[in-house]
């Protein structure tokens, strides 16, 4: 079996989900060949870094335009595929011809659209899976030539069914995370008002942490809250915080996020799908920065609905104190996270892959199409 996983590095969440899914599948199918492809780098090998840097600036400074385009594409009768450059489709066709996979998986909506178009415009009939890496289902994720969907929860599965996707084409796989994202061995919250609590602050792969000096001053001088901040690849923010706050542990990009989550009583983070899934798997309650992008708004709605976190108001720093010392509430949220994890059932995915590799599907090129 050969599996091609297509993704992009816009914020790193999609790419990390691809790596996690690759490991999940490798465990299930040790003899499988699994290729994780950064599609934008494949299309623009000399310019992909510039594209990703530009995207980062766009997310920081162009939120209104980003959200406008997101909302228009969500409500428009014109499918997002209509705006995909033909060059992307040609490149995807070339990639599939080169790789000759038995199955294609996408962990980003852009790749899902491009693969769907490639299947529509050619004789390619390779089984295709879309893995949705948010706790919502924007129309860009749903494409006519997708054979199977992986979703993060039963709620997303039900939404897809409402949108016309057959139930037998959907698997609650969870948003893929690495195996090390597990609860700490001691799942009990640190009890007692005057016991030191541990707060973990994360800004996603781009290190975007929207809080002012008074917020960090509060944490820097709090006697009973020990704070760790992961700023990702934001080197400027790393230097700034390290110089200003001696009582806060500041780190940049790290491969040990699971370790820091397992140590934490509470995670304060941007509401990106992958980070939220990591916290759910570690069973650490969530305090979320106010969402700025529309998909983050949807993710926040999900977190609030499932009662596993709340939205943080930077002008009310005492909210952290009230939350992190409320042991009853923290323990209830941990239990709610356990319920969410119990929804995961990966057997339908493995049944689909087995069918794909035993010629239930037609060959790569179906001339009768």
SS3 sequence of the chain: CEEEEEECCCCCHHHHHHHHHHHHHHHHCCCCEEEEEEHHHHHCCCCHHHHHHHHHHHHHHCHHHHHHHHHHHHHCCCCHHHHCCHHHHHHHHHHHHHHCCCEEEECCHHHHHHHHHHHHHCCECCCEEEECCCCCCCHHHCCCCCCEEEECCHHHHHHHHHCCCCHHHEEECCCCCCCCCCCCCCCCCCCCCCCCEEEEEECCCCCCCCCCHHHHHHHHCCCCEEEEEECCCCHHHHHHHHHHCCCCEEECCCCCHHHHHHHCCEEEECCCHHHHHHHHHHCCCEEECCCCCHHHHHHHHHHHHCCCEEECCCCCCHHHHHHHCCHHHHHHHHHHHHHHHHCCCCHHHHHHHHHHHCCCCCCCECCCC
pLDDT interval class at 75 (50, 70, 90)? low
Q: Which of 48-62, 200-214, 288-302 has the highest mean pLDDT?
A: 288-302
Specify the higher pLDDT residue, 62 or 298.
298
pLDDT at 59: 75
pLDDT interval class at 90 (50, 70, 90)? very high
| Segment 57-66, tens digit of pLDDT | 887 788 888 8
- Give the alpha-carbon dihedral of 261, 262, 266, 270, to 10 degrees: 20
pLDDT at 354 over 60: yes
Which segment of 12-26, 49-63, 159-173 scores lowest on mean pLDDT? 49-63
pLDDT at 262 over 50: yes
Top-tier CATH class for 197-342: alpha beta
pTM of the model: 0.88
Averaged pLDDT, 232-256: 89
Q: What is the mean pLDDT of the chain?
A: 87
pLDDT at 325: 94
Specify the higher pLDDT residue, 63 or 363.
63
Domain boundaries, the chain: 2-174+344-357, 197-342
Q: What percent of the chain has pLDDT over 90?
A: 59
- Rounded to 10 deg, the angle between the 327-342 and 273-282 helix axes is 110
pLDDT at 187 over 70: no
pLDDT interval class at 363 (50, 70, 90)? very low
Question: Cα separations (Å) of 102 from 121, 179, 351, 359, 361?
Answer: 19, 25, 14, 10, 10
| Segment 207-229, tens digit of pLDDT | 567 667 788 899 999 999 999 99
Specify the higher pLDDT residue, 82 or 332.
332
| Segment 167-177, tens digit of pLDDT | 999 999 999 99
246 CB-contact burial (10 Å; exposed 0-12 / middle 13-18 / buried 19+): exposed
pLDDT at 44: 94
pLDDT at 134 over 60: yes
pLDDT at 92: 95
pLDDT at 287 over 50: yes
pLDDT at 79: 62
Averaged pLDDT, 159-165: 93
pLDDT at 338: 96
Does domain 2-174+344-357 fall under CATH 3.30.390? My reply is no
Q: Assess whether the region 2-174+344-357 and the region 197-342 belong to the same CATH fold.
A: yes
| Segment 20-29, tens digit of pLDDT | 999 999 999 9
pLDDT interval class at 364 (50, 70, 90)? very low
pLDDT at 173: 93
pLDDT at 235: 85
pLDDT at 111 over 80: yes
pLDDT at 188: 46
Which segment of 85-94, 96-105, 359-368 scores lowest on mean pLDDT? 359-368
Specify the higher pLDDT residue, 360 or 350.
350
pLDDT at 204: 61
């Amino acid at each position: 079996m050969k599996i091609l996983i297509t993704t992009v590095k816009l914020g790193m969440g999609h790419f990390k989900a691809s790596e996690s899914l690759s490991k999940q599948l490798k465990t299930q199918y040790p003899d499988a060949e699994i290729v994780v492809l950064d599609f934008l780098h494949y299309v623009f090998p000399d310019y992909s870094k510039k594209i990703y840097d530009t995207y980062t600036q766009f997310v920081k400074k162009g939120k209104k335009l980003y959200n406008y385009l997101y909302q228009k594409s969500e409500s428009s009768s014109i499918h997002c595929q209509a705006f995909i450059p033909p060059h992307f489709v040609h490149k995807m066709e070339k990639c599939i011809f080169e790789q000759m996979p038995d199955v294609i998986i996408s962990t980003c909506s852009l790749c899902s659209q491009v693969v769907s178009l490639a299947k529509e415009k050619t004789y390619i009939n390779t089984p295709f899976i879309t893995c949705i890496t948010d706790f919502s289902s924007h129309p860009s994720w749903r494409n006519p030539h997708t054979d199977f969907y992986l979703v993060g929860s039963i709620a997303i599965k039900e939404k897809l069914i409402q949108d016309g996707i057959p139930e037998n084409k959907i698997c609650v796989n969870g948003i893929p995370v690495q195996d090390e994202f597990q609860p700490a061995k001691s799942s009990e919250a640190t009890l007692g008002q005057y016991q030191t609590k541990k707060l973990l602050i994360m800004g996603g792969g781009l290190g975007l942490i929207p809080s002012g000096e008074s917020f960090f001053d509060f944490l820097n001088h709090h006697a009973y809250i020990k704070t760790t901040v992961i700023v990702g690849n934001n080197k400027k923010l790393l230097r700034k915080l390290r110089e200003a706050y001696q009582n806060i542990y500041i780190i940049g990009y790290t491969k040990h996020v699971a370790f820091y989550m397992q140590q934490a009583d509470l995670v304060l983070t941007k509401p990106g799908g992958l980070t939220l899934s990591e916290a759910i798997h570690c069973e650490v309650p969530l305090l979320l920065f106010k969402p700025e992008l529309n998909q983050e708004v949807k993710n926040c709605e999900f977190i609030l609905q499932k009662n596993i976190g709340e939205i943080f108001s930077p002008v009310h720093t005492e909210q952290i104190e009230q939350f992190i010392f409320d042991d009853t509430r923290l323990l209830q949220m941990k239990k709610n996270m356990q319920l969410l994890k119990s929804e995961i059932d990966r057997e339908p995915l493995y049944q689909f892959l087995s069918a794909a590799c035993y010629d239930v599907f037609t060959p790569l090129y179906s001339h009768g199409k």
